[in-house]
Amino acid sequence: MQASLLLTLALLGVVSANNLERRWIKIDTPAVFTPNPAFPYVWAWQHQDNSILETKKDSASDDAVARVILSGFASKANHSPVFHIRKSEVVPPSNDTSDFLSFAPYWWPNPEDPKAEWVKKDGEINPDILKLTCQAELSAMTASTRMSVTQGLLNPTDTASLAHASRQLHAWFVDPELRMKPNVNYGQVVRNADPSTWKGRFEGILSVRQLAFVPSTVELLEKIYPQWTAQDTKGVKDWFTEFLQWLLNPPFQPEENTSKNNHRTYWACQVVEYQ
Ligand SMILES: *[C@@H]1O[C@H](CO)[C@@H](O)[C@H](O)[C@H]1NC(C)=O
Ligand SMILES: *[C@@H]1O[C@H](CO)[C@@H](O)[C@H](O)[C@H]1NC(C)=O
Protein backbone atom coordinates (compact mmCIF):
# COMPACT_ATOMS: atom_id res chain seq x y z
CA MET A 1 0.00 0.00 0.00
CA GLN A 2 2.72 2.36 1.06
CA ALA A 3 4.76 1.57 -2.04
CA SER A 4 1.89 2.01 -4.45
CA LEU A 5 0.87 5.30 -2.85
CA LEU A 6 4.40 6.56 -3.29
CA LEU A 7 4.48 5.40 -6.86
CA THR A 8 1.21 7.17 -7.58
CA LEU A 9 2.55 10.32 -6.01
CA ALA A 10 5.73 10.07 -8.00
CA LEU A 11 3.75 9.83 -11.18
CA LEU A 12 1.53 12.67 -10.09
CA GLY A 13 4.62 14.63 -9.22
CA VAL A 14 6.00 14.27 -12.70
CA VAL A 15 2.70 15.04 -14.37
CA SER A 16 2.09 17.94 -12.06
CA ALA A 17 5.48 19.40 -12.75
CA ASN A 18 4.60 19.51 -16.43
CA ASN A 19 1.24 21.01 -15.66
CA LEU A 20 2.77 23.69 -13.51
CA GLU A 21 5.10 24.57 -16.27
CA ARG A 22 2.29 24.80 -18.80
CA ARG A 23 0.07 26.69 -16.44
CA TRP A 24 2.71 29.27 -15.75
CA ILE A 25 3.37 29.79 -19.41
CA LYS A 26 -0.34 30.21 -19.96
CA ILE A 27 -0.80 32.74 -17.22
CA ASP A 28 2.19 34.91 -17.86
CA THR A 29 1.88 34.15 -21.47
CA PRO A 30 4.53 35.88 -23.43
CA ALA A 31 4.63 33.17 -26.03
CA VAL A 32 8.26 34.17 -26.25
CA PHE A 33 8.92 32.42 -22.96
CA THR A 34 9.16 28.95 -24.39
CA PRO A 35 11.22 27.11 -21.81
CA ASN A 36 14.62 26.03 -22.95
CA PRO A 37 14.47 22.23 -23.32
CA ALA A 38 17.82 21.99 -21.55
CA PHE A 39 16.25 23.06 -18.26
CA PRO A 40 12.45 22.95 -18.43
CA TYR A 41 12.08 22.17 -14.74
CA VAL A 42 13.48 25.52 -13.75
CA TRP A 43 10.41 27.35 -14.90
CA ALA A 44 8.10 25.11 -12.99
CA TRP A 45 10.17 25.42 -9.87
CA GLN A 46 10.55 29.14 -9.89
CA HIS A 47 6.92 29.72 -10.58
CA GLN A 48 5.75 27.01 -8.29
CA ASP A 49 2.11 27.11 -7.56
CA ASN A 50 1.00 26.05 -4.13
CA SER A 51 -2.40 25.01 -5.44
CA ILE A 52 -0.74 21.73 -6.33
CA LEU A 53 -0.44 21.09 -2.62
CA GLU A 54 -4.05 22.10 -2.02
CA THR A 55 -5.38 19.66 -4.57
CA LYS A 56 -3.43 16.75 -3.14
CA LYS A 57 -4.44 17.24 0.48
CA ASP A 58 -6.86 14.33 0.39
CA SER A 59 -4.32 11.79 -0.68
CA ALA A 60 -1.20 12.73 1.25
CA SER A 61 0.35 15.31 3.52
CA ASP A 62 1.75 18.46 1.96
CA ASP A 63 5.12 17.38 3.15
CA ALA A 64 4.99 14.05 1.33
CA VAL A 65 3.84 15.69 -1.88
CA ALA A 66 6.52 18.35 -1.63
CA ARG A 67 9.20 15.71 -1.14
CA VAL A 68 8.10 13.76 -4.19
CA ILE A 69 8.04 16.87 -6.34
CA LEU A 70 11.42 17.94 -5.03
CA SER A 71 13.03 14.60 -5.70
CA GLY A 72 11.55 14.60 -9.22
CA PHE A 73 13.06 18.00 -9.94
CA ALA A 74 16.35 17.11 -8.30
CA SER A 75 16.80 13.95 -10.32
CA LYS A 76 16.23 15.93 -13.52
CA ALA A 77 18.68 18.52 -12.27
CA ASN A 78 21.30 15.84 -11.72
CA HIS A 79 21.25 15.06 -15.43
CA SER A 80 21.51 18.65 -16.54
CA PRO A 81 24.60 20.06 -18.21
CA VAL A 82 26.90 22.42 -16.33
CA PHE A 83 25.38 25.88 -16.54
CA HIS A 84 27.59 28.82 -17.48
CA ILE A 85 27.51 32.01 -19.53
CA ARG A 86 30.27 31.28 -22.00
CA LYS A 87 27.88 29.65 -24.47
CA SER A 88 26.21 32.89 -25.50
CA GLU A 89 26.24 33.55 -29.24
CA VAL A 90 25.82 37.28 -28.74
CA VAL A 91 29.00 38.67 -27.23
CA PRO A 92 29.11 41.79 -25.05
CA PRO A 93 30.98 44.86 -26.32
CA SER A 94 34.06 43.74 -24.38
CA ASN A 95 34.09 40.59 -26.58
CA ASP A 96 34.59 38.72 -23.32
CA THR A 97 32.02 35.96 -22.87
CA SER A 98 32.71 35.87 -19.14
CA ASP A 99 30.95 39.25 -18.92
CA PHE A 100 27.27 38.74 -18.16
CA LEU A 101 25.05 40.24 -20.87
CA SER A 102 21.33 40.95 -20.76
CA PHE A 103 19.10 43.15 -22.90
CA ALA A 104 16.52 45.62 -21.62
CA PRO A 105 13.38 43.63 -22.42
CA TYR A 106 10.91 46.38 -23.37
CA TRP A 107 12.96 48.13 -26.05
CA TRP A 108 12.38 47.95 -29.78
CA PRO A 109 14.06 49.31 -32.92
CA ASN A 110 13.29 52.95 -33.55
CA PRO A 111 10.96 52.97 -36.56
CA GLU A 112 12.11 56.46 -37.55
CA ASP A 113 15.81 55.78 -37.47
CA PRO A 114 17.20 52.23 -37.52
CA LYS A 115 20.57 53.52 -36.34
CA ALA A 116 19.22 55.36 -33.31
CA GLU A 117 18.94 53.98 -29.81
CA TRP A 118 15.93 51.70 -29.49
CA VAL A 119 12.68 52.99 -28.00
CA LYS A 120 10.77 51.76 -24.98
CA LYS A 121 7.33 50.14 -25.11
CA ASP A 122 6.68 49.47 -21.45
CA GLY A 123 5.39 45.96 -20.76
CA GLU A 124 6.00 44.72 -24.32
CA ILE A 125 8.74 42.15 -24.18
CA ASN A 126 10.93 41.98 -27.25
CA PRO A 127 11.33 38.28 -28.10
CA ASP A 128 14.82 39.12 -29.22
CA ILE A 129 15.97 38.74 -25.63
CA LEU A 130 15.85 35.00 -26.14
CA LYS A 131 18.99 35.27 -28.23
CA LEU A 132 20.82 35.68 -24.96
CA THR A 133 21.40 32.81 -22.59
CA CYS A 134 23.18 34.36 -19.59
CA GLN A 135 20.08 34.98 -17.51
CA ALA A 136 18.51 31.60 -18.31
CA GLU A 137 21.74 29.88 -17.37
CA LEU A 138 21.89 31.81 -14.11
CA SER A 139 18.29 30.90 -13.27
CA ALA A 140 19.00 27.29 -14.05
CA MET A 141 22.14 27.26 -11.93
CA THR A 142 20.55 28.88 -8.88
CA ALA A 143 17.30 26.93 -9.05
CA SER A 144 18.91 23.58 -9.63
CA THR A 145 21.52 24.01 -6.89
CA ARG A 146 18.86 25.04 -4.40
CA MET A 147 16.75 22.02 -5.28
CA SER A 148 19.68 19.66 -5.20
CA VAL A 149 20.96 20.85 -1.85
CA THR A 150 17.48 20.69 -0.33
CA GLN A 151 17.08 17.21 -1.73
CA GLY A 152 20.44 16.19 -0.23
CA LEU A 153 19.39 17.63 3.10
CA LEU A 154 16.15 15.65 3.19
CA ASN A 155 17.73 12.48 1.79
CA PRO A 156 21.25 12.17 3.15
CA THR A 157 21.95 9.15 0.93
CA ASP A 158 21.36 11.25 -2.20
CA THR A 159 24.93 12.37 -2.66
CA ALA A 160 24.39 12.64 -6.44
CA SER A 161 22.31 15.75 -5.81
CA LEU A 162 24.98 17.30 -3.62
CA ALA A 163 27.64 16.46 -6.18
CA HIS A 164 25.48 18.16 -8.80
CA ALA A 165 25.15 21.33 -6.73
CA SER A 166 28.84 21.32 -6.02
CA ARG A 167 29.72 20.97 -9.72
CA GLN A 168 27.39 23.80 -10.74
CA LEU A 169 28.60 26.23 -8.10
CA HIS A 170 32.22 25.47 -8.82
CA ALA A 171 31.72 26.11 -12.53
CA TRP A 172 29.88 29.38 -12.07
CA PHE A 173 32.08 31.01 -9.46
CA VAL A 174 35.47 29.32 -9.40
CA ASP A 175 36.48 27.49 -12.60
CA PRO A 176 38.67 29.93 -14.58
CA GLU A 177 37.42 28.42 -17.85
CA LEU A 178 33.74 28.87 -17.06
CA ARG A 179 33.19 31.41 -14.32
CA MET A 180 31.24 34.61 -14.68
CA LYS A 181 33.12 37.81 -13.95
CA PRO A 182 31.84 39.40 -10.74
CA ASN A 183 30.17 42.38 -12.39
CA VAL A 184 27.09 43.24 -14.44
CA ASN A 185 28.67 45.87 -16.63
CA TYR A 186 26.48 44.80 -19.55
CA GLY A 187 23.17 44.27 -17.80
CA GLN A 188 19.87 45.40 -19.36
CA VAL A 189 21.56 46.97 -22.33
CA VAL A 190 19.41 49.26 -24.48
CA ARG A 191 20.47 48.40 -27.97
CA ASN A 192 21.20 50.28 -31.16
CA ALA A 193 22.64 49.10 -34.47
CA ASP A 194 26.25 49.27 -33.25
CA PRO A 195 26.99 46.58 -30.64
CA SER A 196 30.39 48.08 -29.86
CA THR A 197 28.63 51.05 -28.22
CA TRP A 198 26.19 49.08 -26.07
CA LYS A 199 26.24 50.09 -22.43
CA GLY A 200 24.92 48.40 -19.33
CA ARG A 201 22.50 50.09 -16.95
CA PHE A 202 21.77 50.01 -13.22
CA GLU A 203 18.70 47.90 -14.05
CA GLY A 204 21.09 45.06 -14.85
CA ILE A 205 21.08 44.11 -11.17
CA LEU A 206 17.58 42.75 -11.77
CA SER A 207 18.96 40.30 -14.29
CA VAL A 208 21.17 38.70 -11.65
CA ARG A 209 18.84 38.90 -8.67
CA GLN A 210 18.83 35.12 -8.29
CA LEU A 211 22.43 35.26 -7.16
CA ALA A 212 20.97 36.26 -3.80
CA PHE A 213 20.02 32.63 -3.23
CA VAL A 214 23.57 31.39 -3.54
CA PRO A 215 25.20 32.29 -0.20
CA SER A 216 22.61 30.38 1.86
CA THR A 217 22.81 27.43 -0.54
CA VAL A 218 26.57 27.30 -0.10
CA GLU A 219 26.29 27.58 3.67
CA LEU A 220 24.03 24.54 3.70
CA LEU A 221 26.12 22.57 1.24
CA GLU A 222 29.19 23.13 3.37
CA LYS A 223 27.40 21.65 6.39
CA ILE A 224 26.06 18.51 4.73
CA TYR A 225 28.53 17.57 1.99
CA PRO A 226 32.03 16.70 3.21
CA GLN A 227 33.42 16.80 -0.33
CA TRP A 228 32.62 20.52 -0.45
CA THR A 229 35.73 21.99 1.12
CA ALA A 230 36.56 25.19 2.94
CA GLN A 231 38.59 26.07 -0.16
CA ASP A 232 35.45 25.74 -2.30
CA THR A 233 33.56 28.03 0.04
CA LYS A 234 36.40 30.51 -0.10
CA GLY A 235 36.28 30.49 -3.90
CA VAL A 236 32.60 31.43 -3.89
CA LYS A 237 33.03 33.93 -1.06
CA ASP A 238 35.86 35.68 -2.89
CA TRP A 239 33.57 36.02 -5.89
CA PHE A 240 30.84 37.63 -3.78
CA THR A 241 33.31 39.91 -2.01
CA GLU A 242 34.28 41.32 -5.39
CA PHE A 243 30.70 41.47 -6.58
CA LEU A 244 29.64 43.31 -3.43
CA GLN A 245 32.23 45.99 -4.18
CA TRP A 246 30.78 46.29 -7.67
CA LEU A 247 27.27 46.63 -6.23
CA LEU A 248 28.36 49.27 -3.75
CA ASN A 249 30.14 51.26 -6.44
CA PRO A 250 28.20 50.51 -9.60
CA PRO A 251 29.46 52.32 -12.66
CA PHE A 252 25.91 53.53 -13.40
CA GLN A 253 23.67 56.06 -11.75
CA PRO A 254 20.27 54.68 -10.81
CA GLU A 255 17.58 56.50 -12.75
CA GLU A 256 15.46 58.88 -10.74
CA ASN A 257 12.52 56.53 -10.28
CA THR A 258 14.61 53.46 -9.89
CA SER A 259 15.53 54.50 -6.38
CA LYS A 260 12.03 53.81 -5.12
CA ASN A 261 11.01 50.65 -6.90
CA ASN A 262 11.80 46.96 -7.17
CA HIS A 263 15.21 47.74 -8.68
CA ARG A 264 16.40 49.34 -5.50
CA THR A 265 14.88 46.52 -3.46
CA TYR A 266 16.81 43.92 -5.44
CA TRP A 267 19.94 45.96 -5.03
CA ALA A 268 19.47 46.20 -1.24
CA CYS A 269 18.57 42.53 -0.95
CA GLN A 270 21.77 41.55 -2.71
CA VAL A 271 23.95 43.93 -0.72
CA VAL A 272 22.62 42.46 2.52
CA GLU A 273 23.01 38.88 1.36
CA TYR A 274 26.63 39.27 0.22
CA GLN A 275 28.04 40.89 3.39
C1 LIG B 1 35.24 43.32 -30.34
O2 LIG B 1 35.24 42.72 -31.61
C3 LIG B 1 34.81 43.60 -32.64
C4 LIG B 1 34.65 42.78 -33.91
O5 LIG B 1 35.78 41.99 -34.13
C6 LIG B 1 35.81 44.73 -32.76
O7 LIG B 1 35.39 45.63 -33.76
C8 LIG B 1 35.89 45.47 -31.43
O9 LIG B 1 36.89 46.46 -31.47
C10 LIG B 1 36.22 44.49 -30.32
N11 LIG B 1 36.11 45.20 -29.04
C12 LIG B 1 37.02 45.12 -28.10
C13 LIG B 1 36.73 45.88 -26.84
O14 LIG B 1 38.02 44.45 -28.21
C1 LIG C 1 9.11 59.32 -12.29
O2 LIG C 1 7.80 58.98 -11.86
C3 LIG C 1 6.90 60.07 -11.86
C4 LIG C 1 5.59 59.58 -11.25
O5 LIG C 1 5.19 58.37 -11.80
C6 LIG C 1 6.73 60.60 -13.29
O7 LIG C 1 5.87 61.72 -13.31
C8 LIG C 1 8.11 61.02 -13.82
O9 LIG C 1 8.01 61.39 -15.16
C10 LIG C 1 9.11 59.85 -13.70
N11 LIG C 1 10.43 60.32 -14.07
C12 LIG C 1 11.19 59.68 -14.96
C13 LIG C 1 12.56 60.26 -15.19
O14 LIG C 1 10.84 58.69 -15.56
**Each residue of 99-125: pLDDT tens digit?**
999 999 999 999 999 899 999 998 899
The domain tally of the chain equals 2
Q: Do 262 and 214 reside in the same domain of the chain? A: yes
Q: Do 17 and 100 reside in the same domain of the chain? A: no
Residue 156 has a pLDDT of 86
Ligand 2 centroid from CA 258, angstroms = 10
Residue 224 has a pLDDT of 93
The residue among 55, 78, 101 that closes a domain is 78
Domain that includes residue 267, residue range:
85-273
CA dist 102 and 26 (Å) reads 24
Nearest ligand to the CA of 255 is 2
**pTM: predicted TM-score of the whole model, two decimal places:** 0.77
Pocket lining: 256 vs ligand 2, CB cutoff 6 Å = yes
Distances (CA, A) of 158 to 51, 110, 117, 161, 222: 28, 53, 51, 6, 15
- How many Cα atoms sit within 13 Å of 119 on the Cβ side? 9
CB 103 within 8 A of CB 191: yes
Residue 237 CB-density burial (10 A; 0-12 exposed, 13-18 middle, 19+ buried): middle
Ligand 2 centroid from CA 212, angstroms = 29
Q: Do 122 and 218 reside in the same domain of the chain? A: yes
The residue among 48, 78, 108 that closes a domain is 78
In eight-state DSSP terms, residue 79 is T
Give the atom of ligand 2 at the shortest distance from the alpha carbon of 256.
Answer: 13
Residue 52 has a pLDDT of 43
Q: Do 118 and 68 reside in the same domain of the chain? A: no
CA dist 85 and 41 (Å) reads 19
The ranges of the chain with pLDDT < 70 are 1-63, 65-66, 255-259
Phi, psi of 271 (to 5 degrees): -60, -40
